[in-house]
Structure 1
Amino acid sequence: MREASVFTVLTAALVISWARKMSVPCSLSARFKGSFAYFTVKDRLPQILTKVIDTVHRTKSAFLEEYGEEGIEAEKKALAAFSKLRNELHTDKPLLLLMDNLPDTELWNQYLEHQQSLLSENDQPSWFKSPWLYVECYMYRRIHEGIVLSPPLCSFDVFKEVKNESFFQSQQAIIALCTYLQELAKKIKDVGEEQLKEEFFKLLQVSLWGNKCDLSISAGQDNSQKSSPLASLTDLQSCILVNDTDHLWTVLSHGMKMRSSQASVSRVDIVLDNAGFELVTDLILADFLLASKLATEIHFHGKSIPWYVSDTTKSDFQWTIQQLRAANHRWMSKCGSNWDSNLKKEVWLYHDHLFWTLPHEFCKVAQVAPDLYTELQKSDLILFKGDLNYRKLTGDRKWDFTVPFSQALNRFHPAPLCSIRTLKADIQVGLKCGQGEQLTSSEPTWMISGQYGVIQFSALI
């Protein structure tokens, strides 16, 4: 991380200066040497690809056992595709059209053509010249292509092993949270409004700090939660740079009071980020929202394919609930059973629209995926978890720190929404005047270390 640790001091002034000359700030990109985007494309993405290659190679015997010689041939084909991809990345080769035939293939290839149209006639989109958000998403989509074009391995999740390990390595923290939730559930009907508000604030912060466990940032290295986050919440308060929790409480409590006089639905959507410990914190929060009657139904949105190492897929979502349900610990098992029941009763619903694994920023949802936008408009509150969602909400551009969050959303506003994120990319808006500069001076890595977080709300415009 040393190379990235000085990026702010070396390049932030240059990037901001360029951005200010434009009506819309420039995209973050690896073309800025010394930036976190440059460090990611140069070092972190190749490390992730190397781990993917290693995972496929180590699974060779399992492929042989399940598929025979066909499995071995598929393994060789996938390894060749990933090695080629890593070489393209290392040498800044032009980005290529996808060759599979999945429902999103045409959209990806159209996006590449759009990127080409923004360049001069003799230039081509490439790893170090194109927007960071695009090339990083593109790498994960090419990984999926390598698996899809290597039948019968088409459903193999190259990140499943590390996601599962992260879950098991966080067992003590998960036990602590499940125990806390079940003890709270016993008295939830007798809890007054002020205490209910305190519990909501507490579990929302648990969900925030759960976002530290990001395997794409650690390049697949152990990044699990070893101890209960509940004990450290007070100490972490000062690390929340924007805390709009009161606004969320206003939205949710108002809905609860309205429902006391009439039968109505109060829907909260959670656009998920990481599997493992973070997903458990999100499920804990969702359970509390139902039990407290702050919401009557929760809609979860995950990824349709393996993504950014640890992002939640439908398989991860179901596996996590079944792991808790089958656990030896009383309260873990109770949580798992309750959550499985919530799904069966359809007060919890899971969605995995393909838009979440496209390279587009979220202001394009209405244009690219109008069905998804219409679905999100049904929500009373949308919670966007994690760094990638924040980057897509704000267009992954080098905004000034004080630009209002609602402005950076660029008219994306299907419903009242909130970003819950620990900072792991060099982008942040909605800060007080001088706040970002002061942090840059005292802690050059504040935007990428994961030590700071935001709970950042924007009302429906």
Structure 2
Amino acid sequence: MAVSPESLSGQDVGSFAYITIKDRIPQILTKVIDTLHRHKNEFFEKHGEEGTEAEKKAISLLSKLRNELQTDKPIVPLVEKFVDTDIWNQYLEDQQSLLHESDGELRWFHSPWLFVECYMYRRIHEALIQSSPIDYFDVFKESKEQNFFESQASVIALCTYLQELRRTSEELGEEPLKKEFLKFLQVSLWGNKCDLSLSGGESSSQKNNLMNLLEELKPFILVDDTERLWSLLNRLRKTRDKAPVRVDIVLDNSGFELITDFVLADFLLSFKLTSEIHFYGKTIPWFVSDTTLHDFNWLMEQMKRSNHKWMSKCGVNWEAYVKAGTWVYHDHMFWTLPHEYCAMAQVAPDLYAELQKADLILFKGDLNYRKLTGDRKWAFTTPFHQALNGFHPAPLCSIRTLKAEVQVGLQPGQGEELAASEPSWLTTGKYGIFQADGSF
């Protein structure tokens, strides 16, 4: 049963949100401005004086945005026509109608954190699309690529493990198969630590071989529904000759985390736990390191070109999966709207209908969790399905390391005990969850 909208209207920004708005968001904007400035010669070489003027215009718009948020100015409508502009501006109107403050204006420090963050990244994109001919430029591209290159040793270790597993025992018995399945799930979980929006765009690469760390990281998994995931997929694989099994992965970060998602997807397909994998990414650069179609294809190409045989083998295989249609990439503007996911069926019914085709949906990362739960100050013991507020296109599971002040589905006293020993446990990325929605 869905929770009534009235009971969900009060969103608490939270202390971590205030720190983010006051500190981390300006830091990200400063980095974006610096990135554009460093590429001014490239813009001139490609576009002449028009490129130089576009770079100046984009920097001016972004500097204005930074001043607006640092001085708590009113949040203004989007002005440049884009596929989602009308939807965004309608959302701004709806948010303003909820306000009970005397001035009646949406402001940076007095609005829900999730909305403010999404709005900031959408304004970054607006500054670029207002600055033709450099409107194609991804201001976060360098950071995402650096994250991948700095994680090479870990990528090699994961690819080597997967390829040797495939080479030595392609047909695993049920118990060994389950054991490996749980390993690859955990790799995908801890890959989520590499989040550039949390680090303000600074390096967050993975230096160690995750496979060697899984046992010591297990105590930091606060909710572990992996047995339920195994039971579902194991049951489905035994009937896959009658009906294909589809797993959808709603992606989070590019770079090393995307490699961990690819490795998981390759394992699921190679060992016949699924027939097809559908990936969902962002239509525009988002939250610094979120995956776009360019990132998805770029990473695959880098893998294919690698001098390391197992990295290259993975890249070749992954490209073949895409060409064969067993890996499918989707993007949709809904993922970069401010709406929580319980609104998807109304706002983006085509996307909701696509997700309904899945046998299992894996939602990666913190932003997806915040949108699944409405980013509210739920009691820690609130059931996950209640926080979803009726969102249920298919059986789903959140795979997330904790980096925001929202968490549900904990045991009584579990959150309070963590808070007493580690006041920042909700926001450091130290802890993780595999949290299923209770429908399977």
Superposition TM-score, scaled by structure 1 size: 0.93
| SS at 1:42 equivalent | helix
Counterpart contact for 1:386–1:421, Cα < 8 Å? yes
Say yes or no: does 1:457 pair with 2:400.
no
- Correspondence list, 1:80-159, <5 A: 80-120=60-100, 122-159=103-140
Aligned residue number for residue 12 of structure 1: none
Q: What is residue 324 of structure 2 aligned with on the other side?
A: 345
Q: Secondary structure, in 3 states, of the residue corresponding to 1:128?
A: helix
* 2:220 aligns with one of 219, 224, 239: 239
Q: Distance in 1 between matches of 2:65 and 2:132?
A: 18
2:205 pairs with 1:205: no
Q: Does 1:71 align with 2:51?
A: yes
> Which residue of the partner structure matches residue 12 of structure 2?
28
Q: Which residue of 2 aligns with 1:215?
A: 196
Residue in 1 that maps onto 2:156: 175
For 1:23, give the aligned amino acid.
Answer: S
2:385 to 406, 409, 414: 406
CA shift in 2, pair 1:100/1:188, >3 Å: farther
In 1, Cα distance between equivalents of 2:373 and 2:7: 15
1:326 matched to which residue of 2?
305
Q: Displacement of 1:25 after TM fit?
A: 7.1
Q: Which residue of 1 aligns with 2:3?
A: none
Query: Residue 185 of structure 2 aligns to which amino acid in structure 1?
Result: L
Cα distance in 2 between the residues matched to 1:189 and 1:255: 19
| Cα deviation digits, residues 192-213 of structure 1 (max 9, x gap) | 0000000000000000000000
**Cα pair 1:188 1:292 within 8 Å, conserved:** no
Instruction: Tell me which residue corresponds to 1:3.
Output: none
* Structure 2 equivalent of residue 196 of structure 1: 177
**Number of equivalent positions:** 434
Q: Percent identity?
A: 63
Distance 2:439 2:90 in 1: 31
Give deviations 1:99-124, integer Å, cap 9, x for gaps.
11111000000000001110137321
In structure 2, give the amino acid aligned to 1:192: G
Out of 427, 431, 439, the position equivalent to 1:448 is: 427
- The Cα of 1:26 is off from its aligned counterpart by 3.0
Match 2:29 to one of 24, 32, 49: 49
What's the offset of the Cα at 1:386? 0.2
Aligned to 1:5: none
Which residue of structure 2 aligns with residue 300 of structure 1?
279
Q: 1:3-40 deviations in whole A, cap 9, x for unaligned?
A: xxxxxxxxxxxxxxxxxxx83373231xx5xx100000
Counterpart of 2:142?
A: 161
Q: State the alpha-carbon separation in 2 of the partners of residues 320 and 212 from structure 1.
A: 18
- Give the whole-Å Cα distance in 2 for the aligned partners of 1:296 and 1:459: 24
Secondary structure in structure 2 of the residue aligned to 1:335: helix
2:71 partner amino acid? T
Task: Work out the CA distance in 2 between the residues paired with 1:319 and 1:23.
Answer: 44
Once the two structures are superposed, residues 261-289 of structure 1 have per-residue CA deviations (whole angstroms, 9 ceiling, x without a partner) of x4321000000000000000000000000
Measured in 1, the distance between the counterparts of 2:116 and 2:430 equals 26
* Secondary structure of the structure 2 residue equivalent to 1:28: coil
The aligned amino acid for 1:135 is V
- State the TM-score, normalized to the length of structure 2: 0.97
Structure 2 counterpart of 1:270: 249
- What SS class does the counterpart of residue 344 from structure 1 fall into? helix
Q: Quick one: distance in 1 between partners of 2:320 and 2:16? A: 43
Q: Which consecutive residues of structure 2, in runs of 5 or more, have no partner in the other structure?
A: 1-5
Please, which of 205, 209, 232 is the counterpart of residue 251 of structure 1?
232
* Alignment partners' CA distance in 2, 1:187 and 1:364: 46
Distance 1:317 1:390 in 2: 21
Report the counterpart of residue 4 of structure 1 in structure 2: none
Q: Distance in 2 between matches of 1:427 and 1:253?
A: 31
Partners of 1:424 and 1:450 within 8 A in 2: yes
Preserved CA contact (<8 Å) 1:273 1:385 = yes
Match of 1:38 in 2: 18
Name the CA distance, whole Å, in 1 between partners of 2:236 and 2:384.
24
Give secondary structure in 1 for the equivalent of 2:75. Answer: coil
Tell me which moved more, 182-191 or 335-344. Answer: 182-191
Partner of 2:279, secondary structure, is strand
Give the Cα–Cα distance (whole angstroms) in 1 for the partners of residues 172 and 88 of structure 2. Answer: 50
Contact 1:325 1:337 in 2 (8 A): yes
Distance 2:249 2:393 in 1: 14
Q: Given residue 23 of structure 2, which amino acid in structure 1 is its aligned partner?
A: D
User: Contact 1:274–1:310 (CA<8 Å) still a contact in 2?
Assistant: yes
* Conserved? CA contact 2:283–2:333, under 8 Å: yes
Q: CA deviation at 1:188?
A: 4.0
Segments of 5+ residues of structure 1 without an aligned counterpart are 1-21
* Conserved 8 A contact 2:340-2:372: yes
